[in-house]
Amino acid sequence: MALTDTRPEAGSGTVPTSAPTADRPAILLGSGDHKAIGVVYIVASLVFGVAGWVAMALWGGHQIGDQNFLSESAAATLASSSRLGLVLLVAVPLMLGLGTYIVPLQVGANTIAFPRAAAAALWTWLLSSLVFVVANCIDGGIGGGRPEAVSLGLLSIIGVVLAIVIGTVSVITTAIALRTPGLTLDRAPLFSWAMVVGGSVWVLTLPVLVANVLLIYVDHRYGAPSEYGVPAAQWEQLSWLTTQPQIFAFAIPGLGLVCDVLATLAGVRQAQRNLLLGFIGAFGVLSIGAWVQPYFYGDAQDELVFAAMAILILLPVLGLFGGWATTLRSGRPSLKSPIGLGIVSGLLLLLAAVAGVVYIITPLDLRETDVYSLGMFSLVMASVLAAGAAGVMYWAPKMTGRSPADAVGKLNVLVILGGGALAGLPLIVLGFATKYDGIADASDALFGISVAGDALLALGALLVLAALVTTSHGASVDADAWGTGQSLEWACPSPPPPGNFGELALVRSPEPLLDAAEPAEEA
């Protein structure tokens, strides 16, 4: 780092001493500080995660035996709402929260782009999410039986998606337009790159969900309803969000996050970095799934493009695994929980991608029921939770200034791995029931195992929250909490002050902190 530039948005380079801090609730409510916004996203999404996986477990329990404790309509509403909730209230906001907090730090920005819009997005998301939950509790879920509540639920989904899109635009605009001098996009940390890729896919596909919901709402609220708003048809129009390839779009930020975690904790520069950038980009392109809407386009899953996407998406996942293995082999990885959680995230995603390839084998009749797709969905959601947990454990020292209890994180490695596998794999096996009678006979046992998996995932979300909350008992840490930080977030104090950075040096490589530590090599 030979040259020091004063960054334009740094102004005088001074940091206001009396500026608000994120730990004061009154200021948190009105804050446009990306750190406060990010923390609220993370905590709220984890709370919703506990509720979401409990709801999944309830639905699974309803499928066991003849002692059904829910009415059929309530079970159908619970199934659709819990899946939609896990995507829009848990997976996306968890990654968006990490992105909102970390991306401005990683790219050396003093603030997030459009801070007021980001804050408005947060509170719109939170309010709409609560309305979504309330509407579901009063029989207003997708296909619910109480018309006014269903209208409320549909509007809340539109609110949630709009908020997510606005929040995402803030994050990816930060990564594109507010990078510090010298930090070209190909030098940006892989998590920031993955947020750009994933965020772009979200911005292009989630509005299509708004279009679907809007049609349902208008027909339901103002129409006869004649077609779209008919309760039995509502979920069919929205289910594409929770099936392949679209479901993979919500795992994209996790891929970059795992790359950053492994490289930092292994203490080496990321091997074949440009290749990994390409793999993440390819994964993003192959997860664009808004066109696979069986309700309107019945043959979509028989198309060659669908089959090609299902097969090809496996390649970037395998490529990323190769990159991660190379990084771990060439470094000295410390056995910390973020590494374990990152690998668990990758493994669960790999399982889902392999299941996606099997799904396109037509003679297996896996599309006759949606239970196979639900198994894939469970695996991907568990993968996102593992990635989110890795991110929280990895950046918690930066967020709080203290070390989290790594034992909790290590316990969570087992909990989320077990939970994801138990929740998803039995349903995938059950998908073969139309072909093999023996599997159908074991459906109660398989649903029982899946319920246990969902319960473990709820526990996993709770453990992430616990790890975050109990950091106040941990030891204080320096700016570079791990001692092997590579990207710019580890250059600012822990926790970052308002304004994040005063002055930053010109960035000359993807690992500016390693450059600073190795001046001789740079010269």
Partner 1 sequence: MAATHALPPAPPVQRPRVLVVGTAFASAATVMVFIGLIAVYLSQRAAVVASGDTWLPKEITLPLQQTNPVLFTLLMSVVTMQWAVSAIARNDRINAYLALGITLVFGFSTIVMTSYLYSLMGADIDANIQSVLIYTITGLHLIVLVIAMIFVALMAFRAMAGQFTARQHDGVTAAALFWYAMVAVYALIWISIYVTK
- For partner 1, the closer of residues 240 and 490 by Cβ is 240
Would you put residue 160 in left (φ > 0), alpha (ψ -120 to 50) or beta? alpha
Instruction: Out of 98, 113, 247, 353, point to the residue binding partner 1 (CB under 8 A).
Output: 113
Secondary element (H or E) of residue 407: helix 406-430
Candidates 205-213, 264-272, 345-353, 470-478; binding stretch for partner 1 (CB under 8 A): 205-213
Instruction: Out of 149, 172, 382, 387, point to the residue binding partner 1 (CB under 8 A).
Output: 172
| 274 CB neighbour count, 10 Å cutoff | 10
Residue 207 is a binding residue for partner 1 (CB under 8 A): yes
Candidates 74-82, 147-155, 200-208, 330-338; binding stretch for partner 1 (CB under 8 A): 200-208
Q: Tokens in use for 366?
A: 């896996």
For residue 87, the minimal CB distance to partner 1 (Å) is 17
Peptide bond into 245 cis (omega under 30): yes
Q: What is the Cα gyration radius of the chain? A: 23
Strands (E), 422-517: 504-505
- For partner 1, the closer of residues 173 and 330 by Cβ is 173
Instruction: Out of 73, 173, 272, 330, point to the residue binding partner 1 (CB under 8 A).
Output: 173
Q: Which residues of 38-49 are buried (b: 16+ CB within 10 A; e: fewer)?
A: bbbbbbbbbbbb
One character per residue 272-311, x = contact with partner 1 (rule: CB under 8 A) = ------------------xx----xx--------------
For residue 127, the minimal CB distance to partner 1 (Å) is 20
Residue 414 is a binding residue for partner 1 (CB under 8 A): no
Is 164 in contact with 93 (CB distance < 8 Å)? Answer: yes
Number of residues located near partner 1, criterion CB under 8 A:
40
- For partner 1, the closer of residues 215 and 314 by Cβ is 215
Contact positions with partner 1 (CB under 8 A) in 219-258: 219, 222-224, 226-228
Residue 88 is a binding residue for partner 1 (CB under 8 A): no
Residues 265, 484: Cα–Cα separation, whole Å: 7
Nearest to 218 by CA among 208, 146, 210: 210
Peptide bond into 497 cis (omega under 30): no
Torsion angle, CA of 17/20/22/27, rounded to 10 degrees? 170
- For partner 1, the closer of residues 221 and 410 by Cβ is 221
Contact residues: partner 1, CB under 8 A: 5, 7-8, 113-114, 165-166, 169-170, 172-173, 176-178, 181, 200, 203-212, 214-215, 218-219, 222-224, 226-228, 290-291, 296-297
